[in-house]
Amino acid sequence: MIKIIVKLLIIGIISISFIACEDKKIEEKEVKFTPKLLMPEVKEEYINKYFKLSQLYNAKDDPIPAMKIGYAYSEKLHDYEKALEWYKYADSMIPLGENSYFACYALQQLKRYDEAISWCQKAIDLKWDEALFRMGKVLELKKEFNQAIEFYKQSFEKNKDKVAANNLGLIYSLELKKYDEAEQWFRKSIQEGYELAYKNFAIFYHNSFNDDIKASAYAIAVIDTKYTKSSVLKLLQNEMKIPNETIKKGYELQLTSDEFPIKYKGELGL
């Protein structure tokens, strides 16, 4: 009899716990925010084409669907002014790192760099690490290269950001003429698998060191990945004016050297 009573008590406690959990879930779902700005207007023909009617309804008191509408204006309609309106509206409910990052990008596209910097900094303060790269890009566009370098480096350290590493290579080679640092960062980008860095490294070796064997090798290595064989040969033969015999040596180098994580093993047809 005692065992039966104990079992019933345990079942009762578990049931109460489940009910309490369900009540908590309901309470969490009912959290609403009060915007300090008026909701931006939308064109009726955009509803259920670029964003859902439900998102528009929920955006009245929820920053997430508001942010998603802003993202639709940015990425689908390329209307960065309208996107920014929605990001600011979402922010007026509660600041979010991702939303601040998107606002920074919209302002970058509008070439309003000082405003972009303030939104990127806000995103960084809210621990949105992707904003480190965006801050670097905005500062690069402002030609504040030393500051851009610091944020690109942070982005690489935190996120293994291959694009940030490539951009560091470009800044060091094209803007600051610090070729040792440029070489280091192009290599890091390549090690992280960024195919565009191979092309940039090829151009770097051709222009900065007159090393056309390595230039050929880095260009050839990414044939049939991001680039076609014809586009690579056009770059090497027509734009860089590299002789076929040198291109062949580059082909052999990328096949035999451990320096190249990606290798092209097909025929060049030279």
Q: Please choose, from the candidates 189, 169, 187, the residue with its C-alpha nearest in 3D space to the C-alpha of residue 179.
A: 169
Q: In what helix (H) or strand (E) does residue 162 lie, and over which residues does it extend?
A: helix 162-170
Tell me the per-residue pLDDT of 110-144, one tens digit each, with 9 for 90 and over.
999 999 999 999 999 999 999 999 999 999 999 99
List Cβ neighbours of 182 (8 Å cut-off, separation of 6 or more): 168, 169, 170, 172, 173, 204, 208
| pLDDT mean over 39-64 | 96
When pLDDT is cut at 50, 70 and 90, the band that residue 32 belongs to is confident
Evaluate if residue 18 carries a pLDDT over 70.
Answer: no
What is the spatial distance between Cα 196 and Cα 173, in angstroms, rounded to a whole number? 15
User: By residue range, what is the domain housing residue 79?
Assistant: 49-158
Evaluate if residue 251 carries a pLDDT over 50.
Answer: yes
List Cβ neighbours of 183 (8 Å cut-off, separation of 6 or more): 169, 204
When pLDDT is cut at 50, 70 and 90, the band that residue 29 belongs to is low
Percent of the chain with pLDDT over 90: 86
pLDDT attached to residue 14: 43
Which domain CATH number covers 94? 1.25.40.10
Tell me the per-residue pLDDT of 136-164, one tens digit each, with 9 for 90 and over.
999 999 999 999 999 999 999 999 999 99
| pLDDT mean over 10-17 | 44
Residue 107, in any domain of the structure: yes
Residue 242, in any domain of the structure: no
- What pTM value is reported for the model? 0.83
Domain count of the chain? Answer: 1
